């Protein structure tokens, strides 16, 4: 399986992380998204309906994984805000995951993906990564392409979408087109229907400077920070999960991988020799939290109340913890209000036919009848 | 040791022929004589040791060396199926089907090139391509390496055998190769006969040997101690029927063309397995396959690269009719002609073929060592 390093990872080696992030942030500012200080609904992205429909079917189709046992939607479940409800994700059969599955709602607005931000190019590359990565879908894309060509529904859909015959290249275009349809809508925050508690919580949010990291319409600065979220011991005590992290580390070139017992986070991207980037993770969006518990890159916090209590005591402990993390002295009532505010940032579930492929997808393939006379 | 030398000569001859076949239609007409089989060649950089062989055996049976941890080498090379697979076309990785017949690993140690089309140069090189191939093991190196590290018993054994601090996947392939080099059979009735025990072969088989070396001229290709000149021929074996009516098989068929890098034009039009062509990209190599050994074939039905024939009788009848036709019949070898064998002669020839197999090599799956958490790192 071919894997290319994203451009930004190599950039990170040359520029310092600040500069690299500046590039990303400016990209976000001036191209697709609203400025960081602007708070309002996330803007819907225009999509090509036929390409997006094709991407939708692919997203729910198990046959695009190596052994045809899981689809993107096995981990990114619509009812759970396109996350999976587990602390640590599942993985391709034979392994178990070592990170929390993030929501995909609004992911098309981002400029760097994954909890460590290691991919800073585009969703086409992220899709390829998910398809081919040995612990995600372990798909040889040449087989994937031939599978799509065997399904008359796909043959027609690719044609209608203007892609010609099914190819792995167009699969990697169609899925991102579908992901662009996953935009938050209908949150009380956007509709002006917040409860009083939520309104009070909004004030707490500003006073306590949560917005210094959770900024913009998506409530994320798209930067990595060290908030010292505690380690999740389940990764290291379970060989099924730990071996997956080792495989990841071998691929990413993490030094001393067999002796590491923590997720190094953004270090895989910036490789700082002094290790000050170890333990940084990307600021996640705060939209759709109602559906996406448990929280943090390793799912160690089960409820929003727990998250808020964590911030109240100034985060966890780590030598490289961000200086922005300090005890906040919130009262119990303030904390409850803050939770109400966070909940008001969640919108309507994206579980209708617009976002979910509702028709049955066959597990098998019909034979091409006049095979000898039909060009391959 | 003399037979081992004979073997070396066979290879020498075979290479000579290879040059000739590639440059022109001239054929060497000296066939290596049939002989008892000696021990297999052992590469200098991968010596046999009991510990390495034992490790290789465990790994051969271990499903964790495949992508979704569900197939081992032994899944397609089942001891009870002649160390091959029961079907005409092998099963594949879950969600796929293979496109060729699974070969026995018995006596694979003697070949210079592995696979039906000779695409691997050594057992050490064959194992990773089997483990990684999308329709076989679908294993990535990183995850394979990582899994080995979490099996304490393997950590210990890789350290003892190879000195690895952490198991290296390349050494897994070396251990498997060492195990395969023990999967040989040198005491068949035929071998006993050649070593002087004239009662080892029935009268029929002795007559069959004469036909094999004479009238039927099988020895033209199935020669030497291995019963293989290790050359590539198109016998006109007909295409696998399954491609006509099995969707999964059609997928794999196209994937293989794509993966083997044929031209766009050929990808569109080809409807059969071009075999040796994928290696050489020479038009006149289309449809050629490596002459397989005839040893151990009593247990390895069905036969040919696509398992078209279900018993040895059918194979001999195929030869008796002068072979068959396939998409690449233009390349069919002149060495295959109608043989006019009588029914008795066919029976004798089959009896001889059967004498090339000894007792069935049985083995039950070993108990595999479990995963365990890594011990805390030493600071």
Query: What pLDDT digit, counting tens, does each position of A119-161 carry?
Result: 999 999 999 999 999 999 999 999 999 999 999 999 999 999 9
Q: Looking at CA atoms only, how far is residue B268 from chain A in angstroms?
A: 4
For chain A, what percent of residues have pLDDT higher than 90? 89
Q: Looking at CA atoms only, how far is residue A63 from chain B in angstroms?
A: 8
pLDDT band (50, 70, 90) for residue B284: very high
In a domain, B214, yes or no: no
Could you say which of B93, B271, B373 has the minimum Cβ distance to residue A67?
A: B93
Rounded Cα distance, A234 and A87, in Å: 10
Could you say which of A134, A239, A261 has the minimum Cβ distance to residue B67?
A: A134
In a domain, B371, yes or no: no
Mean pLDDT of chain A: 91
> Between the CA atoms of A212, A217, A223 and A228, what dihedral angle is there, to the nearest 10 degrees?
60
Residue B270 predicted with pLDDT over 50: yes
Could you say which of A366, A371, A376 has the minimum Cβ distance to residue B244?
A: A371
Could you say which of A93, A258, A365 has the minimum Cβ distance to residue B251?
A: A365
Q: Specify whether the backbone of B211 is left (phi greater than 0), alpha (psi in -120 to 50) or beta.
A: alpha
Residue A13 predicted with pLDDT over 90: no
Output the pLDDT for position B30: 84
User: Residue B166's closest chain A neighbor by CA?
Assistant: A258
In a domain, B150, yes or no: yes
In a domain, B211, yes or no: no
Strand stretches in chain B, DSSP E: 232-233, 289-290
Q: Looking at CA atoms only, how far is residue A199 from chain B in angstroms?
A: 48
The tens digit of pLDDT for each residue in B132-152 reads 999 999 999 999 999 999 999
| Contact list, A237 vs chain B (CB under 8 Å) | 373
In a domain, B56, yes or no: yes
Q: What is the CATH number of the domain that holds B159?
A: 1.10.760.10
Q: Do B143 and A95 touch (CB under 8 A)?
A: yes
ipTM above 0.85, yes or no: yes
Residue A319 predicted with pLDDT over 60: yes
Residue A105 predicted with pLDDT over 90: yes
pLDDT band (50, 70, 90) for residue A39: confident
Contacting B residues, span 139-168, partner chain A, CB-CB under 8 Å: 139-140, 142-143, 145-147, 149-150, 166
Reference A283, options A79, A35, A112, A45; nearest CA is A112
User: Residue B327's closest chain A neighbor by CA?
Assistant: A372
pLDDT band (50, 70, 90) for residue A38: low
For chain B, the first-to-last Cα distance in angstroms comes to 54
Output the pLDDT for position B29: 63
pLDDT band (50, 70, 90) for residue A3: very low
In a domain, B275, yes or no: no
Q: Do B67 and A149 touch (CB under 8 A)?
A: no
Measured CA to CA in angstroms, residue A235 lies from A72, A130, B233 at distances of 22, 20, 54
Q: Do A150 and B376 touch (CB under 8 A)?
A: no
Residue A10 predicted with pLDDT over 50: no
Rounded Cα distance, B84 and B32, in Å: 27
User: Residue B97's closest chain A neighbor by CA?
Assistant: A67
Q: Do A69 and B377 touch (CB under 8 A)?
A: no
- Tokens, residue B118: 């000779």
In a domain, B158, yes or no: yes
Residue B9 predicted with pLDDT over 60: no
Mean pLDDT calculated for residue range A169-198: 97
Instruction: Give the lowest-confidence range in A18-32, A83-97, A198-212, B365-379.
Output: A18-32
In a domain, B149, yes or no: yes
Residue B7 predicted with pLDDT over 90: no
Output the pLDDT for position A308: 98
Indicate whether this model's pTM tops 0.90. yes
Domain holding B154, by residue range, is 43-180
For chain A, the first-to-last Cα distance in angstroms comes to 23
Is residue B223 within 8 A of residue B34, CB to CB? The reply is yes
Mean pLDDT calculated for residue range A338-363: 98
pLDDT band (50, 70, 90) for residue B96: very high
Q: Do A259 and B377 touch (CB under 8 A)?
A: yes
Q: How far is CA B186 from the centre of its chain?
A: 17
pLDDT band (50, 70, 90) for residue B379: low
Domain total of chain B = 1
Which helix (H) or strand (E) is A146 found in, with range? helix A141-149
């Amino acid at each position: 399986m071919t894997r290319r390093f994203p451009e930004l990872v190599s950039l990170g080696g040359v520029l310092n992380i600040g500069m690299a992030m500046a590039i990303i942030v400016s990209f976000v500012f001036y191209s697709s998204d609203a400025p960081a200080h602007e708070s309002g609904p996330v803007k819907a992205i225009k999509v090509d309906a036929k390409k997006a429909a094709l991407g939708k079917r692919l997203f729910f189709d198990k046959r695009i994984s190596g052994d045809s046992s899981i689809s993107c939607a096995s981990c990114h479940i619509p009812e759970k805000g396109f996350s999976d409800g587990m602390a640590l994700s599942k993985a391709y059969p034979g392994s178990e995951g070592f990170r929390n599955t993030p929501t995909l709602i609004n992911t098309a607005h981002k400029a760097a993906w994954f909890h460590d931000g290691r991919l800073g190019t585009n969703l086409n590359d992220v899709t390829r990564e998910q398809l081919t990565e040995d612990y995600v879908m372990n798909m040889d894309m040449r087989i994937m392409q031939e599978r799509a060509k065997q399904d008359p529904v796909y043959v027609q859909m690719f044609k209608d979408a203007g892609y010609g015959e099914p190819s792995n290249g167009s699969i990697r275009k169609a899925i991102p087109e579908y992901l662009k349809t996953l935009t938050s809508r209908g949150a009380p925050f956007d509709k002006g229907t917040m409860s009083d508690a939520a309104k009070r919580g909004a004030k707490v949010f500003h006073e306590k400077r949560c917005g210094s990291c959770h900024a913009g319409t998506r409530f994320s600065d798209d930067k990595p920070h060290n908030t010292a979220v505690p380690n999740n011991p389940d990764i290291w005590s379970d060989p099924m999960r730990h071996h997956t992290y080792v495989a990841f580390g071998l691929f990413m070139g993490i030094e001393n991988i067999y002796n590491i017992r923590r997720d190094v986070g953004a270090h895989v991207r910036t490789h700082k020799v002094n290790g000050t980037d170890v333990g940084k993770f990307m600021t996640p969006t705060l939209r759709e939290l109602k559906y996406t518990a448990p929280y943090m890159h390793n799912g160690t916090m089960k409820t929003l109340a727990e998250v808020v209590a964590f911030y109240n005591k100034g985060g966890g402990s780590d030598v490289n913890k961000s200086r922005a993390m300090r005890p906040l002295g919130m009262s119990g009532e303030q904390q409850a209000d803050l939770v109400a505010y966070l909940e008001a940032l969640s919108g309507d579930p994206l579980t209708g036919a617009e976002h979910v492929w509702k028709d049955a997808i066959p597990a098998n393939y019909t034979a091409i009848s006049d095979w000898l006379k039909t060009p391959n | 040791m003399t037979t081992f030398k004979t073997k070396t000569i066979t290879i020498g001859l075979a290479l000579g022929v290879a040059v000739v076949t590639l440059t022109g239609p001239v054929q060497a007409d000296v066939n290596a004589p049939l002989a008892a089989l000696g021990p297999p060649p052992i590469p200098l950089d991968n010596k046999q040791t009991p510990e390495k062989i034992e490790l290789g055996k465990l790994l051969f049976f271990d499903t964790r060396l495949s992508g979704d941890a569900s197939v081992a080498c032994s899944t397609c090379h089942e001891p009870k199926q002649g160390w091959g697979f029961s079907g005409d076309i092998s099963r594949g990785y879950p969600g796929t089907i293979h496109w060729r017949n699974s070969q026995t690993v018995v006596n694979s140690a003697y070949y210079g090139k592995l696979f039906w089309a000779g695409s691997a140069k050594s057992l050490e090189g064959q194992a990773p391509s089997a483990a990684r191939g999308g329709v076989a093991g679908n294993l990535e190196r990183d995850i394979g390496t990582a899994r080995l590290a979490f099996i304490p018993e393997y950590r210990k054994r890789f350290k003892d055998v190879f000195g690895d601090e952490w198991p290296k996947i390349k050494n897994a392939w070396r251990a498997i190769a060492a195990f395969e080099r023990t999967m040989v059979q040198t005491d068949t009735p035929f071998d006993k006969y050649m070593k002087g025990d004239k009662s080892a072969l029935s009268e029929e088989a002795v007559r069959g040997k004469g036909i094999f070396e004479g009238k039927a001229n099988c020895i033209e290709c199935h020669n030497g101690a291995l019963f293989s000149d290790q050359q590539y021929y198109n016998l006109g074996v007909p295409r696998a029927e399954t491609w006509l009516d099995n969707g999964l098989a059609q997928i794999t068929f196209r994937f293989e063309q794509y993966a083997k890098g044929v031209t766009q034009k050929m990808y569109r039009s080809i409807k059969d397995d071009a075999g040796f062509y994928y290696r050489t990209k020479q038009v006149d190599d289309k449809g050629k396959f490596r002459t397989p050994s005839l040893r151990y074939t009593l247990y390895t039905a069905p036969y040919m690269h696509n398992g078209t024939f279900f018993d040895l009788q059918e194979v001999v009848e195929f030869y008796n009719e002068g072979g068959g036709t396939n998409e690449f019949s233009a390349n069919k070898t002149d060495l295959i002609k109608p043989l006019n064998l009588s029914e008795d002669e066919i029976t004798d020839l089959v009896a001889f073929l059967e004498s090339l197999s000894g007792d069935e090599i049985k083995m039950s799956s070993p108990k595999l060592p479990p995963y365990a958490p890594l011990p805390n790192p030493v600071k």
